[in-house]
Amino acid sequence: MPGIDASRPFIPVRIAVLTVSDTRTLAEDTSGQALVNRLEAAGHILAAREIVQDSLSAIQQIVAGWLIDPEVDVVIATGGTGVTGRDVTPEAFAGLYEKEIPGFGELFRMLSYQKIGTSTIQSRASAGVARGTYLFALPGSTGAVKDAWDDILVHQLDYRYMPCNFVELFDRLQEHQRRSKG
């Protein structure tokens, strides 16, 4: 059965939270705050937090800065994953991915379907890896953020979670770069 292996140590992960919204302020950012509360309660470190407008270049500029920051292991964005003209977070992230993790969006939508039915089809939640950093794009609703964290990310960002997790792969995410240099 999958679960926590208590013989393994907990390893805190440094997580940057990006809220993508044309209207929210920090005081009104309930989904971003729910994510911050959850990651800190799990023992992780809030490495950075920003709010950015729904703009492909603005999203990429902030995330690109975090990708070269050694104090950021994971970037989680909330918002901008729908299908309207202003929703560009998946495109912004896709332009940065070295490897996509399609199973994340698939699993998110499967879990979401159990709660909101076919409305989940409007979500373009996605994930990938860039420069050794995990990137996750979540819908902007507080419920979606809670579902993604509680049902997927809290486990995959915990080194103790077995049979496998994202944390144990950190050292191997840039193997292709080391091989090409040597």
| C-beta neighbour count of 63 within 10 angstroms | 25
pLDDT at 182 over 60: no
pLDDT at 163 over 60: yes
pLDDT digits (tens, 9 = 90+) for 76-121: 999 999 999 999 999 999 999 999 999 999 999 999 999 999 999 9
* Mean pLDDT of the 137-160 span: 97
Q: What is the pLDDT of residue 35?
A: 98
pTM of the model: 0.95
Query: Among residues 107, 142, 127, which one has the least CA distance to residue 2?
Result: 107
Q: What is the pLDDT of residue 178?
A: 56
pLDDT digits (tens, 9 = 90+) for 23-61: 989 999 999 999 999 999 999 999 999 999 999 999 999
Q: What is the pLDDT of residue 180?
A: 56
pLDDT digits (tens, 9 = 90+) for 127-141: 999 999 999 999 999
C-alpha to C-alpha distances, 55 to 25, 63, 92, nearest whole angstrom: 16, 12, 8
Q: What are the two backbone dihedrals, phi and then psi, of residue 100, each rounded to the nearest 5 degrees?
A: -85, 150
**176 confidence band (pLDDT: 50, 70, 90):** confident
**175 confidence band (pLDDT: 50, 70, 90):** confident
Q: What is the pLDDT of residue 179?
A: 57
Domains of the chain: 9-167 (3.40.980.10)
